[in-house]
């Protein structure tokens, strides 16, 4: 698959602030080993595929009608899943679904951002956030993380006080670094927002804190998710997705767990019938097979640990590669590559696609199947030898 070049004739009245912008997205190249977009590399098993086909066949005769706008059955399934995965039971009106957590995030910006408002993140972070901000005319500001990519809480708390944002947006575990986020840090951010008056808003309006938990299932077993804090913090929103651990990226299903008040704000900005009946049916079928869908998560976590240990034994210009601590299904590695493009090209020439992303000197690789990881290792050894 290769995209056509984006050419926009000058006579089109594209918004001034969008002129010169490029469509976002990692390259979609036809390469044997794709380790660049943090997917689960294991396909749904045949029983799941059959269940999806059956559920979609069941609703096909109703496709002349609009779907359930409130996607109640699916919100119940999110509730069951979170109860099982994180041990927290939320009501249907504390949950909300959309086409990927990308759409969840956009809806958050539509509801809580806008002209005169600012969202605050912690750099390095997910590269789509500035795009949601741009598309909703929301200011986007960053506090910097520590050199080991953990949150610099003092800097973040100071920035919250200075900027008085309407949204504080933190990724947990972080992308592209993989850094886990302890619950105490989330609580400190929530505490810092408690007495903040959002700039330009009415008296008593406080920031919301959004924790993007796209990769949360890959965290160390036994560590808590931020969903545990929802009951006590009505201004906390936790975004999740079926795209990563749940191995369902192609279906485009993300969801938000938050207070009923926040969910009701999302309902104002959503497009009518934004989740198709086909999407809802497919997601319900997948949730019926949660065990199978999550079957490889433990293994992928182990592959991450093995790969991190192996990467640290490899050298670049005589020094061992650095590897950032990760609670995710990917690793940020390198640390001092002075020509990342040469590493990227060397791997690509050997059939392996990874991602040039994050701070200078680092690259990100997502965990694949065992065969794919063996291929990655061989390709990296050869590439490092060539660029020396």
Q: How far apart are CA 339 and CA 322, in angstroms?
A: 15
**SS3 for 168?**
strand
- Omega before 261 cis (within 30°)? no
Asked if 180 interacts with ligand PMP (CB under 6 A), we say no
Q: How far apart are CA 213 and CA 186, in angstroms?
A: 12
Candidate residues 49, 155, 201, 249; the one interacting with ligand PMP per rule CB under 6 A: 249
Is 162:315 a contact under the CB 8 Å cutoff?
A: no
The encoded tokens of residue 266 equal: 């999302």
Contact letters for ligand PMP, residues 7-46 (x by CB under 6 A) = -------------------------------x--------
CB atoms within 10 A of CB 235: 20
In angstroms, give the least distance from the CB of 300 to ligand PMP.
15
Q: How far apart are CA 77 and CA 187, in angstroms?
A: 27
In angstroms, give the least distance from the CB of 19 to ligand PMP.
26
Nearer to ligand PMP, 254 or 334 (CB): 254
Starting at the edge strand found earlier in the chain, the sheet holding 167-171 runs 95-98, 254-258, 236-241, 208-212, 167-171, 118-123, 139-144
Nearest-CB residue for ligand PMP: 100
In angstroms, give the least distance from the CB of 129 to ligand PMP.
9
Output phi, psi for 258, to 5 deg.
-170, 180
Candidate residues 79, 118, 175, 235; the one interacting with ligand PMP per rule CB under 6 A: 175
Which residues, 310 to 369, sit near ligand PMP by CB under 6 A?
Answer: none
Asked if 101 interacts with ligand PMP (CB under 6 A), we say yes
Q: How far apart are CA 130 and CA 32, in angstroms?
A: 31
Asked if 243 interacts with ligand PMP (CB under 6 A), we say yes
Asked if 214 interacts with ligand PMP (CB under 6 A), we say yes
Site residues for ligand PMP per CB under 6 A: 38, 100-102, 126, 171, 175, 212, 214, 241, 243, 249, 254
């Amino acid at each position: 698959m290769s995209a056509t070049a984006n050419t926009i004739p000058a006579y089109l009245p594209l918004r001034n602030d969008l002129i010169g912008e490029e469509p976002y997205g990692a390259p979609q190249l036809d390469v044997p080993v794709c380790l660049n977009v943090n997917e689960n590399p294991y396909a749904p098993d045949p029983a799941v595929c059959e269940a999806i086909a059956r559920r979609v066949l069941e609703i096909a005769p109703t496709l002349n009608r609009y779907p359930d706008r409130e996607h109640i059955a699916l919100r119940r399934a999110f509730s069951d899943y979170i109860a099982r995965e994180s041990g927290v039971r939320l009501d249907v009106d504390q949950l909300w679904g959309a086409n990927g957590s990308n759409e969840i995030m956009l809806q958050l910006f539509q509801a809580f951002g806008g002209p005169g408002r600012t969202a605050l993140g912690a750099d390095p972070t997910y590269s789509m956030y500035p795009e949601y901000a741009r598309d909703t005319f929301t200011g986007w500001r960053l506090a910097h993380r520590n050199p080991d990519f953990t949150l610099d809480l003092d800097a973040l708390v100071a920035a919250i006080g200075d900027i008085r944002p309407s949204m504080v947006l933190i990724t947990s575990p972080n992308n592209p670094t993989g850094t886990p986020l302890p619950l105490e840090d989330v609580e400190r951010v929530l505490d810092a927002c408690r007495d903040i008056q959002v700039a330009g808003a009415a008296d008593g309006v406080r920031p919301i804190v959004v924790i993007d938990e796209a990769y949360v299932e890959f965290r160390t077993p036994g560590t808590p998710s931020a969903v545990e804090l929802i009951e006590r913090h009505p201004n906390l929103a936790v975004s999740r997705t079926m795209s990563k651990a749940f191995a369902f990226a192609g279906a485009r299903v993300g969801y938000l767990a938050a207070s009923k008040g926040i969910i009701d704000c999302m309902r104002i900005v959503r497009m009518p019938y934004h989740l198709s009946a086909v999407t809802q049916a497919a997601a319900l079928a997948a949730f019926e097979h949660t065990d199978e869908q999550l079957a490889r998560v433990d293994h992928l976590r182990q592959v991450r640990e093995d790969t991190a240990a192996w990467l640290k034994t490899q050298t670049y210009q005589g020094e061992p590669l650095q590897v950032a601590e990760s609670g995710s299904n990917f690793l940020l590695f390198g640390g001092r590559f002075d020509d990342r493009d040469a590493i990227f090209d060397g791997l690509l020439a050997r059939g392996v696609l990874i991602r040039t992303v994050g701070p200078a000197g680092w690259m990100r690789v997502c965990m694949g199947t065992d065969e794919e990881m063996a291929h990655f290792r061989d390709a990296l050894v050869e590439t490092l030898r060539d660029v020396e």
